[in-house]
Chain A
Amino acid sequence: MNERPALLLEGVHKSFGENEVLKGIDLTVAPHEVVCLIGASGSGKSTLLRCVNLVEPIDSGRIVVEGEEITADGVNANRIRRRIGIVYQSFNLFPHMTVMRNITLAPREALKQDRAEAEKSASTLLERFGLLDKRNEYPDRLSGGQQQRVAIVRALAMRPHLMLLDEVTSALDPELVAEVLAVIKELAREGMTMLIATHEMGFARDIAERVCFLDAGRILEQGPPDRIFTAPENPRTRQFLTRIIEAGRL
């Protein structure tokens, strides 16, 4: 690879007590690449994303973002997190703030943007994702799909270089999934680097340039979606995909 990777993980281990959740993850994400993590619940997808965002400290290994080792001692976690956007399954919007305030809080407080500037770029983002008319609403007045789109806009307002999406459609009613996936596709078209943990196999197949299959804390197999979904080599991958197909999710 001649370009500096957007994200590089080397031998990342993470345990919660006795339970080893990540057992040596090696992963490289190139700039503008979209990588999907698939695998059963408990395979370590969410933990992996939380480690990249420094929400969970890792036990060993290293994580490098755009050439900077973020797991080194003395790194300012706040500064790193401003460059990495993360969106969670459960939206986690701030219920006591309007949509506009939710989005502009971090740019104003962490990036010290002035109010007019922050609101202007927030409005641009809201407009693009069809949410401008909701800017003065409180989150509990919005549907799940709208809330999740606001959460994505909130992360984008920090102008992240890398977006981590953790099962962003899992908490949504089926009819609301599409609007959220459309937003993510739009981001992919623009060249946003993304690492996406998902159960939506059809979506992963559509959007990912590379799919990684996680099983019990290891990446067992990775490759372009066409190959992973049609001709998986690892028996565990085959077994997982068979179950997914039987459940009608692919």
Chain B
Amino acid sequence: MTARGPAPEPSVPRDADRGSRALGNRGVLVSSASTVLFFTIIATIVAVSPGSGLVAERFFSPQNLWQSLIGSGSNPSILGAFLLNVKIFTISEIFILVLALVIAVVRGIPGPVFFPFRLVAVAYTDLFRGVPLILVLYMIGFGVPGLGLPFVSYLPDVTYGVVSLVLVYSAYVAEVYRAGIESVHESQNAAARSLGLTRWQSLRFVVLPQAIRRVIPPLLNDFIGLQKDTALVSVLGSVEAARAAQIYSASEFNYASYVVAALLFVLITIPLARFTDRLIARDKRRREAGALA
């Protein structure tokens, strides 16, 4: 190496660094220019299109956006209604995480005695992954109250919604867990069993912690789906964000309320999506570091 002066690091990466920084400056200029140009063209096209004024008024009028968000007269506030969505998915998520884990574990219990349990777990996942959520909502939300049974038929609508979401999503999440459990190499279980740990201890201390860590990104992905699907609970009459938006729209002949509801859903899923990305990136870094070690 012929690097002069105090250069503790090899000179090649440093040069490469400087090169990419120079390129980066020009890149920023080019991308800024192209972005401005691109959106100017789009904006112009939109502005001169027939009906553009109407779209702005029906979908984006600031007054309607604001009124629907906070509520007005007999129209419920979408923001307030959205709290119900948050409540629904928070409660559902907790039950889903537990129920799905139980199903995944039951599905993996070996031995002929447990065959009926495995059968139930397989049938459950097959059934509820296949049935559209809205049908489950109808069956639970209208069917169960219609039975007139003591207690179970007289619960709030939201409860039937939560039950339906838990039933359907647990089937998906159980499969995610199962993939995680199967991705842990059998030698880990063998090592635990060789030390005299029971099957259950091996599962609890060795297999599941590794399995769950690996499936956190796909789990979060399913939860983004769940957050959106809470809107479907509106079919049971619960006034959540989507339903509140519909009420506003129907009385004011304006669609800004839908835009507001949509934005609220997006706002809450974006942080979760970014968090998922970060976890995936961190796992990748770890694996690579592990491979080097």
**Chain A: residues with CB nearer than 8 A to chain B?**
53, 55, 78-79, 81-82, 85-86, 88, 90, 92-96, 105-106, 109-111, 140-142, 154-155, 158
Contacts and interface: CB of A to CB of B under 8 A. Distances in A.
Interface of B: 187-188, 190-198, 201, 205-206, 209-210, 213, 289-290, 293
B190 A79 contact: no
A158 B205 CA distance: 17
Nearest to A106: B195
Given A92-B187, A94-B206, A96-B210, A140 B289 contact: yes
Contact of A53 (B194, B201, B210, B289): B194
Given A140-B293, A141-B293, A154-B195, A96 B190 contact: no
B194 A95 contact: no
A33 B201 CA distance: 32
B197 A110 contact: yes
B293 A78 contact: no
A110 B201 contact: yes
A238 B209 CA distance: 49
Contacts of B201: 109-110
A155 B195 contact: yes
A201 B70 CA distance: 82
Contacts of B191: 88, 92-94
Contacts of B190: 55, 88, 92
Given A142-B293, A158-B196, 5 more contacts: A88-B187, A94-B191, A96-B213, A105-B192, A141-B293
A92 B188 contact: yes
Instruction: Decide if the interface of chain B is mainly helix, strand, loop or mixed.
Output: helix
A65 B208 CA distance: 32
A141 to B, nearest CB: 6
Contact of A94 (B188, B193, B198): B188
Nearest to A164: B194
Given A92-B187, A109-B205, A78 B197 contact: yes
A110 B293 contact: no
Nearest to A94: B206
B258 to A, nearest CB: 45
Q: Which 4 residue pairs across A and B have the least CB separation, nearest first?
A: A82-B196, A92-B191, A106-B195, A140-B290
Given A96-B210, A141-B293, A110 B187 contact: no
A96 B188 CA distance: 11
Nearest to B290: A140
Given A96-B210, A141-B293, A105 B205 contact: yes
A81 B196 contact: yes
B187 A105 contact: no
A81 B193 contact: yes
Contacts of A55: 190, 193-194
B289 A110 contact: no
Interface centre among B191, B194, B201, B210 (most CB of A within 10 A): B194
Contact of A86 (B194, B210, B213): B194
Contacts of A85: 194
Contact of A105 (B195, B210, B213): B195
Nearest to B196: A82
B286 to A, nearest CB: 8
Contact of B194 (A81, A94, A141): A81
B196 A79 contact: yes
Nearest to B205: A105
Contacts of B205: 94, 105, 109
A96 to B, nearest CB: 5
A92 B185 CA distance: 9
B209 A81 contact: no
Contacts of A82: 195-196
Nearest to B185: A92
Given A55-B190, A55-B193, A92-B187, A78 B213 contact: no
A55 B186 CA distance: 12
A158 B198 CA distance: 14
